[in-house]
Structure 1
Amino acid sequence: MSKFILSTSSCADLTESYAKEHNIVCLPFTFLIEGKEYPDDFGHSMSYTDFYTKVRAGEPSTTSMINAEAYEEYFKSAIAGGLPLLHIEFSSALSGSYQNAKNVADKMNGEFGEKRIYVIDSLCASRGLGLLVDYAVNMRDADKTIEEVAEWVEANKLNLIHWFTVDDLNHLRRGGRLSRASAFFGSMLKIKPVMDVDDRGRLIPHFKVRGRKKSILTMVEHMQMDIKNPDGQTVFICHGDCIDDAEFLKAKVLESFPTIKEVAIHYTGPVIGSHSGPGTLALFYMGKERYKD
């Protein structure tokens, strides 16, 4: 029997089957498209393919973080049975949700006179957060205490490597990552950025390569340089409705590291996808350290 409850948010981009199998609660962010707000709920309210079809057609999508009231309601119900709670949240550099969760947890723990709710700023995004949660799941299931798991997550979260590329530079322009001129000329020249999440949890462009295939191979090349102990590792991939590219990336990863335990692929959900766009492709694994220019 689990000694504690484990939860995260929908920005972990876990599959519903995984969340159910491992008893993980994924609190939903929300997104607004065509004038209507939807929860990011494993594609039930709007399927992943419908979302990306709308965005490809030019529909803008905006997102909203989880507010303090939603955290308080969930935290109270989660610990009502007497078990403590470990909540691992989306990078604080990309959303205010972590701070909302921490403020609520600090307030409730103060009222209890003891620490029952642990909230961690993952400094991770998308399935990088999901993979960090997977490590916590494995430790929980190995009978580690909540303190041991929280300590391990804090000590190792910056070794969770993220590599991203996108197909359409205009989504980065809208998010302030590129100027209008850079996006225009980059698209004309088929320039693809390769980005990571840095030690402060920010999405940082590092390389500009020509062509989609080269951007994918660049991610694998960096994985070859900085993966740590690949034998038996689980690797996560996510994609913005570009499954063929995700399968190509998976094949290249397994070609380079045949002793990896599993390469699990899933969609980039609509909250992350609202900012990165269709054609986003990302690779996540445990490495030596995050990239430094």
Structure 2
Amino acid sequence: MAEKIIISADSTCDLGRELKEQYHVEYYPLHIILEEKDYLDNVTIQPEELYRAYEQRKVLPKTAAVNAAEYIQYFEPWVKQGYDVVHVNLGGALSSSYQNCCLAAEELGHVYPVDSCNLSTGTGHLVLDGVKMAAAGLGAGEIQRRLNERRGRVHSSFILDTLKFMAAGGRCSAVTAFGANLLNLKPCIEVDNRSGAMGVGKKYRGNLDKVLVRYTKDQLAGYEKINTDKIFITHSGIAEAYIELVKKTIQETMHFEHIYVTRASCTISSHCGPNTLGILFETEA
């Protein structure tokens, strides 16, 4: 008899409502603390509200992980119904959500946490991979094992239009942000898929339309044996023309079966600000 399996993730997987519904993905929101009020990421607050708070009042939110008790409350009804739950977390280097999920799993049993070592739709890739594995009849423990092996194949990066939000949040100095703005530099932020830590890659110079084209071509040329099943274009709120430009560049460079466009959650958007865009894909090995 096939196992009853739920595939679940933190809200930071950034798959968007349509893909979550299509693939029956469950998710649990992280916390957004804005002006001493606790909101649920992309449930009771949206990224535009964060941007307005900063532009109008110069306040930035804090983000908080899901605690173990919340995970227990979330998973317990499924466990009692006989389900195994594979839950893909925001990278452990970025949040304590994975650690807290492991505590809940120890308490309940039948919960299989996966540290994505990634963020946004880098995590989303693993979620959809898990859905495919479950559909193929793999058990929860095997899905967990394979996703842990597969996370090193996920490549995530973003172009930041401005360092203003990172500087305001203390993630880079005001001097660095001012210098980047003065020189019209747009850094590429890359995720280390072995640890989940973020670092600065190539720094591009010029207008956003030209930078996005160069960045997209550089990323696709930078890896061998890219898995052409799916690629994500994920953004924090950007003009449709830029999205279409990147999509066209991808199509002219390489054929993918699916090009998914998704909007980043509040957790991701609060760190990078508006006009951030990335392409996220997997390699075969």
* Same fold, TM-score > 0.5, yes or no: yes
Rounded to whole Å, the distance in 2 between the matches of 1:39 and 1:18 is 20
Instruction: Give the stretch that moved more between structures: 160-169 or 14-23.
Output: 14-23
How far did 1:171 drift? 1.8
**What does 1:178-257 align with in structure 2 at a 5 Å threshold?**
178-198=172-192, 199-211=194-206, 212-216=208-212, 217-231=214-228, 233-244=229-240, 245-257=242-254
Asked if the contact 1:56–1:278 (Cα under 8 Å) also holds between the matched residues in 2, the reply is no
Letter in 2 for 1:169: L
Rounded to whole Å, the distance in 1 between the matches of 2:173 and 2:187 is 13
**What does 1:1-293 align with in structure 2 at a 5 Å threshold?**
3-41=4-42, 44-57=43-56, 58-109=58-109, 116-198=110-192, 199-211=194-206, 212-216=208-212, 217-231=214-228, 233-244=229-240, 245-257=242-254, 259-287=255-283
Rounded to whole Å, the distance in 1 between the matches of 2:129 and 2:54 is 33
CA shift in 2, pair 1:139/1:288, >3 Å: closer
Rounded to whole Å, the distance in 2 between the matches of 1:79 and 1:9 is 18
Asked if the contact 1:8–1:27 (Cα under 8 Å) also holds between the matched residues in 2, the reply is yes
CA shift in 2, pair 1:45/1:12, >3 Å: same
Rounded to whole Å, the distance in 1 between the matches of 2:245 and 2:55 is 22
Partner SS for 1:284: strand
CA shift in 2, pair 1:227/1:49, >3 Å: farther
Identity, in percent, stands at 26
Rounded to whole Å, the distance in 2 between the matches of 1:192 and 1:264 is 24
Correspondence for 1:112:
none
Asked if the contact 2:3–2:84 (Cα under 8 Å) also holds between the matched residues in 1, the reply is no
CA shift in 2, pair 1:156/1:75, >3 Å: same
How far did 1:84 drift? 1.1
Partner SS for 2:137: coil
Asked if the contact 1:195–1:204 (Cα under 8 Å) also holds between the matched residues in 2, the reply is yes
Letter in 2 for 1:241: G
Query: What's the RMSD between the two structures over aligned residues?
Result: 2.0
CA shift in 2, pair 1:248/1:31, >3 Å: same
CA shift in 2, pair 1:254/1:164, >3 Å: same
Compute the TM-score of the two structures, normalised by the length of structure 2: 0.90
Q: Which runs of 5+ in 1 are unaligned?
A: 110-115
Count of matched residue pairs: 279
Superposed CA deviations along residues 71-111 of structure 1, whole A, max 9, x for unmatched, are 111121221111211111000111111111112212333xx
Partner SS for 1:98: helix
Rounded to whole Å, the distance in 2 between the matches of 1:176 and 1:19 is 33
Partner SS for 2:222: helix
Q: Which runs of 5+ in 2 are unaligned?
A: none
